[in-house]
Amino acid sequence: MSNKTIKNIFVDGAITPEFIAKSISNHSSKTEIGGHSIFMGQVRADEINGKTVSGIEYTSFEDLALTKMHEIREEIFDKYPLSCLHVHHSLGLINAGEICLFVFTSSKHRKPAIEACNELVERIKSELPIWGKEIFTDSSHHWKENI
């Protein structure tokens, strides 16, 4: 593993549109970048067994998740010619309609940015110890499965 610092990907609460806009805006001065790819995960108001999801409460084994995310980040940078790679994941209760995951990759060309972003999202969902408890409008809950 490299000597790079492990970055904290976690955000308390929802990821705001203002945060996302600022993140995008911060890259306008990086004129070597020609392509960005962005994924935003939004909490859905799914109906499950006649109950409607009002939000998802995210928890994580943070130390393990951050160590694993660091490994994934290094592997993605080794595999794709990226300029930037940013991952932000919410913890706590996120209401339906709010953003809980923001993945942002940048590269000289669009294809590596798109492919890296897609791979990152799939690996985050399958490899990081992050759990979502779906909260229903009647205050009952069940644990979400990542698909």
Q: Give residue-wise pLDDT tens across range 61-109.
A: 999 999 999 999 999 999 999 999 999 999 999 999 999 999 999 999 9
pLDDT of 1 above 50: no
Check if the beta carbon of residue 30 is closer than 8 Å to that of residue 98: no
Least Cα distance to 84 among 30, 6, 18, 25 occurs for: 30
Any domain includes 38: yes
Counted domains in the chain: 1
What are the structure tokens assigned to 141, written together? 């809950």
Please check whether residue 117 lies inside any domain of the structure. Answer: yes
User: Is 73 part of any domain?
Assistant: yes
16 within a domain of the structure (yes/no): yes
Residue 13 has pLDDT above 50, yes or no: yes
Taking the C-alpha atoms of 139, 41, 16 and 103 in order, what is their torsion angle to the nearest 10 degrees? 140
pLDDT higher for 3 or 36? 36
Q: How many CA atoms lie less than 13 Å away from 131 in the CB half-sphere?
A: 7
Please give the residue range of the domain that contains residue 128.
10-143
Asked, for residue 67, whether it belongs to a domain, the answer is yes
pLDDT band at 4 (very low <50, low <70, confident <90, very high): confident
| 5 part of a folded domain | no
Judge whether 24 lies within some domain.
Answer: yes
Residue 94, in any domain of the structure: yes
Average pLDDT over residues 19-36: 93
Per the document, the length of the chain is 147
The two tokens of residue 68 are: 């694993």
Which tens digits make up the pLDDT trace of 125-147?
999 999 999 999 999 998 887 65
With residue 95 as reference, give the H or E element that holds it. strand 82-95
Q: pLDDT tens digits, residue range 34-55?
A: 999 999 999 999 999 999 999 9
Among residues 65, 79, 44, which one has the least CA distance to residue 124? 65
Which domain CATH number covers 74? 3.90.1170.40
